[in-house]
Amino acid sequence: MKTMKYIAAACLLCAVTSCELERLDYTEIYPENFPKTETDLRLAVNALYYDFNPRGFNGVFSAGYEGYQVMSDITTDALWSCWAWEADDYYYHQWYATMGGAVADDVYAAFARYNFLSKARNAVRRIEASDVNEEAKALYSGEAKALRGWMALYLYDLFGPVPVASDEVLDDPETFVYLPRLTDEEYDEMMETDLRDAIRDLPEKAEARGRMTKGAARMILLKYYMIRGFFDKAETLARELYAMEGSVYSLQGDYNYIFSKEGAGNDEVILQIPCNSTASWYSNYMTAEVLPADYPWAEKAEGWGGYVIPWDFYDTFEEGDVRRQNIITEYTNTSGVHIDRSNSTQLAKGALPLKYGMDPDMTGAQSGVDLVIYRYSDVLLSLAECIVRNGGQPTQEAVSLVNRVRDRAGLEPLSVEQTGTKEAFLDAILLERGHEFYLEGLRRQDLIRFGKYVEYANGRINEANAVEGQGYFNVDEGHNRFFIPQTFIDESKGEIKQNDYDR
Amino acid sequence: MKTIHLYVRHLGLVLSLLLMTVSLAAQTIQVKGVVKDKSGETVIGASVQVKGTASGTITDLDGNFVLPDVKKGSVIVVSYIGFVTQEKEASSTMEFILSEDSEMLDEVVVVGYGTQKKSSISGSVASVKADELPTAASASVGAMLRGRAAGMNITSTSANPGGSMSIAIRGGLSGQAPLIVVDGVPQVSSKTVMAGTAYSGGEKENSLINLNPNDIETIDILKDASAAAIYGSDASGGVILITTKRGKTGKPDISYSGSVAFQYMKDVPKFLNARDFMIEQNKVFDELGRGDEKRYTDEQIANFVGDGTDWMDEVTRVGIVQEHNLSLSAGTEQTKYLFSLSYYDHQGIAKNNSMNRITGRLNVDQTINRMLKAGISATFSQVKYHDVPLGNGKQDNSALIYSAMTFIPTVSVYDEEGNYSNNPIRDIYPNPVSLLDITDQTTSRDLFVSGYLEFKPIEELTFRGTVGFDMKDVQADQYIPTTTKKGFSMNGQGSKQNAKTQMNLVNLIGTYAKTFGGRHDLNVMAGVEYKKSSWEGMGIVTSQFPYDGALMNNLGISEQEKPTISSNKGANEMASFISRLNYTFDSKYILTVNLRVDGSSNFSKEHQWGVFPGVSAAWRLNEESWLKNVRWLSNLKLRAGVGQTGNAGNLTGINSYYTVSQGAFAPNGTLANGIAFSKLGNENLKWETLTDYNIGVDFGFFNNRLSGSVDLFQRFRKDVILTRSLMSYHEINTIDYNSAEVYRSRGVDLELHSVNFDTKDFGWTTDVNFSFYRNHTTERDPEFIPEVYQDYVEEWGNIYGYRTDGLIQMDQKYTHLPSSNAGSILYQDLYGYKLDGNGNRMRDSEGRYIRLEGADGVLDAADMVVLANSTPIPFSINNTFRWRNWDANIYLYGSLNGWKVNDLKLQSIYGIEDITYGVNALEEVKNRWSPANPNGTMPGVAEASSGVNPGSSDFFLEKAWYLRLDNVSIGYTFPSKWFKNRIRSVRLYASGRNLAVFTPYQGMDPETDNGIGAYPNQASFAIGLDVKF
């Protein structure tokens, strides 16, 4: 017995000292095992799309104020919200670089997304280094590059150029390299490299709606050129997209069909976030944000009753504009009561942009209608704009492009006055764009491009101060870009320079 | 039972006969006597000897003895374990009243891989005897231990049945829960499983709930690292050693104890009744300038009948707790066993909320031969919960309690069609009663078995091998039916999730103990241990059910496209060398050295091993000749110790890896998975260490009538494993690392025990525990930049925020509060930033922005100050009384410091605009500022648009120290005569638990009121019965 025990003890000692202790966790996938196959590449790219989800604080298309589309529209004349919180801070541009609170948090979240550029770049490099057939590698790296360009566009749009890490810096994440912002030229080069590759490698039609295509990549680059004021390059791209009409894209006959459940995947849409009312991370919440709780809608739908189109903007729509049909000015609620400006806080502030059609399966706040990001009518209006800006004259071609959009909206062609001069024509295009793309998150950039963003904001500020006795401060052209949160400037040891804000 | 009884009698008879025959010769008397203890209870089985002879007997079941032939003038010696031996000259009738051995110091204390006499302990160890704890209406021994040991701060974080607790030993500096060791084998912690469902129940206590409190003999707490180092890297949160009862030599001991308690809700805040609700809603519409949206006419309000629905009343009830315990223990010299069963059932005060537990235990010790002994400890427990939705959800996510507080009071529970009524103003809020339809069951099972084999080749040397495993298995099932709002929108949601955890352990320990030359007491222990912990689990959450009837029991009928499915599995290993030296010289000088070497698979190969030493020494001054004659001093011991423990954390930090992100994207509207890089590994991670310094003194005066101990401690936590930010532009911009931060805890623990009265009829003892500690961060990483209001050496528990000065009155406007109008909180603009010539903020030598006193017209971080510090000062007083057959106990515990933001009040008042949607509010909103009520002290409707979060100010911050009257009980023990000695003792008692809380805090219970929808705490009234056969 005694010897037995000693043997046992000796064995135990041996076991303890000789074997290396091992840890096991099946939920971790180690770099030596991934990515290895074509499916792996698709999974890696799918993970990149996640950052563009329509829900959650970091999702680019969150329907809250921090989402790109809402943030872009609510700082203009075309969207407002009847929730106190920070809606008025946005609508009246009451933000400044040293502020705290919810707006600062939203801006922080928007800027913090800049690490997506590193994420996508690493994905591209992993795809290219993987041992998979070249065709698949080209396709998926093209997709990753287009996604990178897409995020880079929004970052540039909101903040101007952001710092971008080189491959060498990415390879050594533990070393602190304090990067300045790229110059505009460096940013141009990055955008062109990524997106030109993507345009080359992506298919014309996606295997599934929502995935990147040649046209979507062109559209992203077109948007970038428009921001940069490269109207000649923009015109070329717009013509390339225009050439895809018929084979890939078309102008839908019915405006409202584009935003309907049945219209999912219609060929006017160039890029969308596909939605599914049963998937909380991929549902369209824009409807719920607008929908009053007592509005007769899908049986299981829930409305949060927030967003409105301010009445003064609503009033700019022409009579008979079909695009106005889904902007609700009065309704009979579920209890049979007539609701209008006189008895609804929401309608008192503005009309209800129920742009996205009813999804009968909408449950709670989750609707399954795809979120539209870019569509073909934007190609027409952008091309018209480029032609005028490049040529200095409203050409017949340009005018007819705009009139195609107007015609679809049930409106007469532009008047002679509106097409008479470059300035008048551009004004008409800006207004047309406002009506065509309400709630689509394009208004802010359009106003900036036309030099009206700050002017309009000051108009609202002055009116509120005069009429309601508010004490809002006026703003200057610095507001065309958001401020960069001080945290990032501090982190870069001052390498990142603030935008044009004096406080 | 009966046969053994007879056997004992016969034995006595035989002995007596024997004795009779031997000593007939001399002049003898017959000595008859009885042996009792101080309370008058007879002592059974006490040894009665005629001094200097071989003759003697033991007392029978009535404590009586007879010695037939005793020489006149002989001395009778009576002894019994745990009592002072008494000697008296023999007479024909004798009564012995034994007093308990006041040398309490020689209790045996469990110290990890062995025991030590309390007198030779040099580290900081606290002991609690389980039978001193009132059990009625407490499920977990954790709840019973609140306040029972200085330096161990246990607080309930939620008042639901089986609700969670936090246990922090000495300030909880390590951030780890204490290691719980039951009969020498550490418990594995169980995992929470419910995730991804629309509702979840209350947080649960997972550490001690699986134990039947009645099975526990003693609880020893290793507070400082000089003692806890023996558990090395598992011990950074301290160690709680639980020793269960075992069979003893003697006749069978059967005992039953049971109690039933009724629970009543306490401290529920008052919300507006229907009429006041309508009035306030109308007022709020006016105050918001939206008077035309009013919902109720004055006539409607005047004609409203009754107070409306009291939703809290609709979802609560009187709670009932009942428990039954049965235990049987017996033993011979060879075999000793204890067997117990228990049942505990708690019907919570929220309807449909319950918890019940069954436990079984079998402890067996078997002596095989002179050298070998073996035994097992096996326990099984099953805890079943039925949960109700709890938590901090608001609006459509409101859980049971919050929705009962805030649901519109003007509607009845059901509408005319018999369906749950809705909020007619904004139909998104769940009807509170509908939430009771949710099925939410969790079953948690634990099988915890260990066995040992002890080999003792010679008296001084013992080898003990232990194998043990702890298997925990949690199954959580939930179904949210379509009668609830959420269930309706999802067509029901069903889920089944489980988690299994297992710990396997084997160790071999050798102990050598010998006294040399009568003065050198040596005890050496060494051993090896191997431990493997593993876990696995899976879960399905799905919705779209065609009907509710099958609940979650036929998930296959779900029509959801892509249900959430998940599973996981993992394991880690630890190998250890353990040793201890304990040396006592002349019973005066004591030295203890602990050493443990741990290897953990959580670290890369180069950093797997860590060494954790602990050294302590003690000096028993009362054993010195110059103090031995000081009569009033019965004990004086100085102790000092230093030691180290480690912490491997819950690390996954050494590996870089990708994880699946389910439903990352929805191409074509169909969810697809993605795989993303999610963790950047750091191979250089190494152990965190905690270093403890402890000095203490144990004292006893007047024959230990007043005794206690005081410990001063200081603890440092270094190489803290934290997550560090990398440059924010990286794909993964955090990494785990060993920080340069140093945390320090300093404090004092005080324990006092006083025997105020100790006469035959009346006894009164008082225990006082008190702890005071403060935690600081003393050093930082080089790149650390303090916030403008932050100290470099920062005290934990600081609450930072804005100071406020009442409310903004009519026609007042402040530049630093551009969005605040009359009725808003007046946050104070106390400081501004110091700017250089270029208008940039200046920094001081530590990198912090410099602030200047005086308003700068902007409310920002520069205006934040330390408002309060919430570090608790745990405190308890226990009084035990005995009067004849009566016993009584009064127990209070609490914290002498505490600060809390009253979240519910903040939510109700700050969110007053929600009343326009039909969300009810606290009665206190009547006291809000409005143009019509300019003297109101609560903020008006304007506050919501101030752009400042009132939670980060002192406005809703309240003092939250408290003292809880936790137990008041009175019991009566019936004399065994009444039962003709067939029953050894019967005790009947009544107790009140949690009868009162003394606190300035205005919210719900200051201990359990966490968040906005906290489960209301309860007062319990119990009656119970203890019977021993």
Q: Tell which residue, B682, B504, B535, has the closest CA to residue A26.
A: B535
Rounded distance between C-alpha atoms, residue B540 and residue B567, angstroms? 9
Q: How far is CA B410 from CA A474, A500, B282, B398, B483, in A?
A: 46, 54, 14, 18, 21
| Three-state DSSP state, B222 | strand
DSSP E strands, A218-280: 269-273
The residues near B935 (Cβ < 8 Å, ≥ 6 apart) are: none
Q: How far is CA B988 from CA B138, B256, B879, in A?
A: 18, 12, 19
A357 within domain boundaries: yes
Q: State the amino acid at position A351 in one-letter form.
A: A
User: If you measure CA to CA, which chain A residue comes closest to B680?
Assistant: A173
CB B666 within 8 A of CB A211: no
User: How many angstroms separate the CA of residue B124 from the nearest CA in chain A?
Assistant: 31
* Confidence tier at B304 by pLDDT (50, 70, 90): very high
Residues A401 and A358 in one domain: no
CB B854 within 8 A of CB B846: no
Nearest CB neighbour to B727, from listed A84, A177, A342: A177
Label residue B284 left, alpha or beta by phi (over 0 means left) and psi (-120 to 50 means alpha). alpha
When the pLDDT of each residue in chain A is averaged and rounded to a whole number, the result is: 93
Q: What is the CATH number of the domain that holds A79?
A: 1.25.40.390
CB B361 within 8 A of CB B244: yes
User: How many angstroms separate the CA of residue A343 from the nearest CA in chain B?
Assistant: 6
Joined tokens for residue A322: 């079909």
Task: Give bridge partners of residue B271 from the DSSP assignment.
Answer: B922
pLDDT at B20: 43
pLDDT average, residue stretch A202-218: 96
pLDDT at B375: 95
Strand B28-37 relative to strand B93-98, pairing: parallel
Which of A369, A393, A408 represents a domain boundary (last residue)?
Answer: A369
Q: Name which of A205, A282, A488 to mutate to probe chain B: the one with the most chain B Cβ atoms within 10 A of its Cβ.
A: A282
CATH, domain range B2-101: 2.60.40.1120
pLDDT at B426: 86
pLDDT at B553: 95
Convert the pLDDT of each residue in A431-449 to its tens digit.
Answer: 999 999 999 999 999 999 9
The residues near A246 (Cβ < 8 Å, ≥ 6 apart) are: none
pLDDT average, residue stretch B667-675: 93
A343 within domain boundaries: yes
Helix (H) or strand (E) run with residue B776 in it: strand B762-779
When the pLDDT of each residue in chain B is averaged and rounded to a whole number, the result is: 90
Q: What is the dihedral of CA B142, B143, B147, B153, to 10 degrees?
A: 60
pLDDT at B39: 66
Q: Name which of B573, B579, B602, B665 to mutate to probe chain A: the one with the most chain A Cβ atoms within 10 A of its Cβ.
A: B665
Which of A184, A202, A220 represents a domain boundary (last residue)?
Answer: A202
CB B444 within 8 A of CB B476: no
Residues A163 and A47 in one domain: yes
Whether A108 shows a pLDDT value over 50: the answer reads yes
pLDDT at B342: 96
Residue A18 contacts B where some CB pair is shorter than 8 Å: no
| Residue range of the domain that includes A171 | 35-202
Q: Name which of A88, A278, A489 to mutate to probe chain B: the one with the most chain B Cβ atoms within 10 A of its Cβ.
A: A278
User: How many angstroms separate the CA of residue A194 from the nearest CA in chain B?
Assistant: 18
Nearest CB neighbour to A276, from listed B396, B666, B679: B666
Residue A44 contacts B where some CB pair is shorter than 8 Å: yes
Whether A76 shows a pLDDT value over 80: the answer reads yes
What is Dmax (Cα atoms) for chain B?
Answer: 117
The residues near A252 (Cβ < 8 Å, ≥ 6 apart) are: A258, A263, A266, A267, A268, A408
Strand B239-244 relative to strand B179-182, pairing: parallel
Nearest CB neighbour to A274, from listed B396, B666, B785: B666
Residues A57 and A161 in one domain: yes
Convert the pLDDT of each residue in A316-371 to its tens digit.
Answer: 999 999 999 999 999 999 889 999 998 888 999 999 999 999 999 998 899 999 99
B390 versus B106: the higher-pLDDT residue is B390
pLDDT at B24: 44
Residues 469-488 of A with CB under 8 A from B: 471, 488
A248 within domain boundaries: no
Residues A286 and A403 in one domain: no
Angle (deg, nearest 10), helices A134-159 and A184-201: 150
Contacts of B680 in chain A (CB under 8 A): 173
A266 within domain boundaries: no
Which of A202, A225, A245 represents a domain boundary (last residue)?
Answer: A202
Whether B190 shows a pLDDT value over 80: the answer reads no
- Asked if the domains at B2-101 and B125-266+317-786+873-900+960-1028 fall in one CATH topology, the answer is no
Contacts of A17 in chain B (CB under 8 A): 575
Joined tokens for residue A51: 């950052």
Contact assignment for B601 to A23 by CB distance below 8 Å:
yes
A363 within domain boundaries: yes
DSSP E strands, B266-371: 319-331, 335-347, 354-367
Rounded distance between C-alpha atoms, residue A231 and residue A222, angstroms? 9
Residues A385 and A353 in one domain: no
Strand B688-701 relative to strand B742-758, pairing: unpaired
Least confident of A100-104, A242-246, B444-448, B885-889: A100-104
Least confident of B165-169, B473-477, B964-968: B165-169
Upper half-sphere CA count for residue A463 (Cβ side, 13 Å)? 10
* Confidence tier at B215 by pLDDT (50, 70, 90): very high
CB B816 within 8 A of CB B857: yes
Residue A46 contacts B where some CB pair is shorter than 8 Å: yes
pLDDT at B234: 87
Nearest CB neighbour to A30, from listed B528, B608, B655: B655
pLDDT at A129: 95
pLDDT at B21: 42
* Cis-peptide into A35, omega within 30 deg: yes
Q: Using CB atoms within 10 A of its CB, is residue B631 exposed (0-12), middle (13-18) or buried (19+)? A: exposed
pLDDT average, residue stretch A124-147: 96
Rounded distance between C-alpha atoms, residue A219 and residue A200, angstroms? 14
CB B199 within 8 A of CB B480: yes
pTM: 0.85
pLDDT at B13: 42
| Three-state DSSP state, A273 | strand
3-state helix, strand, coil in chain A (%, to 5): 50, 5, 40
Instruction: Compute φ and ψ for B659, nearest 5 degrees.
Output: -130, 160
What count of residues does chain A have?
A: 503
* Confidence tier at B600 by pLDDT (50, 70, 90): confident
User: What is the secondary structure of B576-635 as a DSSP string?
Assistant: EEEEEEEEEETTTEEEEEEEEEEEETTS-GGG-EEEEEEEEEEEEGGGSHHHHT-TTEEE
Q: State the amino acid at position B235 in one-letter form.
A: A
pLDDT average, residue stretch B319-333: 93
Q: Which long-range contacts (CB under 8 A, 24 or more apart) does A463-467 make?
A: A464/A92
Task: Give bridge partners of residue B180 from the DSSP assignment.
Answer: B240
Residues A72 and A194 in one domain: yes
Residue B81 burial (CB count, 10 A): 9
Whether B742 shows a pLDDT value over 90: the answer reads yes
* Confidence tier at B104 by pLDDT (50, 70, 90): very low
Task: Give bridge partners of residue B901 from the DSSP assignment.
Answer: B957
Contacts of B658 in chain A (CB under 8 A): 28-31, 34
Rounded distance between C-alpha atoms, residue A80 and residue A310, angstroms? 6
Q: Using a pLDDT cut of 70, give the percent of chain A over it.
A: 95
Joined tokens for residue B429: 């809020």
A262 within domain boundaries: no
Convert the pLDDT of each residue in B337-354 to its tens digit.
Answer: 999 999 999 999 999 999
Convert the pLDDT of each residue in A265-312 to its tens digit.
Answer: 999 999 999 999 988 889 999 999 999 988 999 988 989 899 999 999
pLDDT at B91: 85
Whether B193 shows a pLDDT value over 80: the answer reads no
A58 versus A266: the higher-pLDDT residue is A266
User: What is the secondary structure of B889-921 as a DSSP string?
Assistant: EEEEEEES--EEE-HHHHHHHHTGGGGGGT---
Strand B899-901 relative to strand B865-869, pairing: unpaired
Residues 389-428 of A with CB under 8 A from B: none
Nearest CB neighbour to B292, from listed A343, A370, A491: A343
Residue B297 burial (CB count, 10 A): 11
pLDDT at B578: 95
Contacts of B427 in chain A (CB under 8 A): 293-294
Contacts of B944 in chain A (CB under 8 A): 84-85
pLDDT at A56: 67
A115 within domain boundaries: yes
Rounded distance between C-alpha atoms, residue B788 and residue B801, angstroms? 12
Least confident of A218-222, A450-454, B424-428: B424-428
Contacts of B730 in chain A (CB under 8 A): 115, 118, 165, 170, 173
Instruction: Compute φ and ψ for A223, nearest 5 degrees.
Output: -60, -40
Terminus-to-terminus CA distance in chain A, angstroms? 84
Q: Tell which residue, B988, B995, B990, has the closest CA to residue B1020.
A: B995
Helix (H) or strand (E) run with residue A431 in it: helix A422-436
In CATH terms, the superfamily for domain B125-266+317-786+873-900+960-1028 is TonB-dependent receptor, beta-barrel domain (2.40.170.20)
Whether B829 shows a pLDDT value over 50: the answer reads yes
Rounded distance between C-alpha atoms, residue A398 and residue A393, angstroms? 9
| Three-state DSSP state, B873 | coil
Eight-state DSSP code of residue B556: G
When divided into structural domains, chain A yields a total of 3
Whether B17 shows a pLDDT value over 50: the answer reads no
pLDDT at B651: 63
Q: Residue ranges per domain, chain B?
A: 2-101, 125-266+317-786+873-900+960-1028
Joined tokens for residue B300: 């409607």
The residues near B247 (Cβ < 8 Å, ≥ 6 apart) are: B329, B330, B331, B335, B336, B337, B338, B363, B364, B365
Terminus-to-terminus CA distance in chain B, angstroms? 9
Whether B746 shows a pLDDT value over 60: the answer reads yes
| Three-state DSSP state, A220 | helix
What count of residues does chain B have?
A: 1029
Place of tokens 């324990």: B751
Eight-state DSSP code of residue B270: P
pLDDT average, residue stretch B429-438: 96
Rounded distance between C-alpha atoms, residue A392 and residue A385, angstroms? 10
| Three-state DSSP state, A378 | helix
